[in-house]
Amino acid sequence: MCSCDHLPSVQQLTMSSDRAMLALLDLSLELTARSLQAEHPTLQDQAYRGCGEPPVTHEALAASIVILATSLREVIAGYRNCLDILLGDREQDWPF
């Protein structure tokens, strides 16, 4: 399951209303990546990476969008983590 399965509680939204937009953006990015992978099954196989032929243009664009969506979801997760620590929803894991 994806991290977007956990929606912010009412209390969390009261403390930081931007969590609603983060959850919505995270879900949108996940659905975008999944629908592109459904439309272009070779994105999951990654078979074209080992051969000498480059992927066709629309598949290359779809692969780029999936990569960017994954990167943006990681940024959202980091922002959400910062909010959790700042607002006391979670303790910070110190390295020492």
The confidence score (pLDDT) of residue 67 equals: 93
Using one digit for the tens of pLDDT, what is the confidence trace for 30-56?
Answer: 999 999 999 988 877 654 555 556 567
pTM metric for this prediction: 0.75
Structural domain boundaries in the chain: 18-86
- Write the DSSP string, 23-83: HHHHHHHHHHHHHHHHH-THHHH-GGGTSSSPPPHHHHHHHHHHHHHHHHHHHHHHHHHHH
Using one digit for the tens of pLDDT, what is the confidence trace for 74-83?
Answer: 999 999 999 9
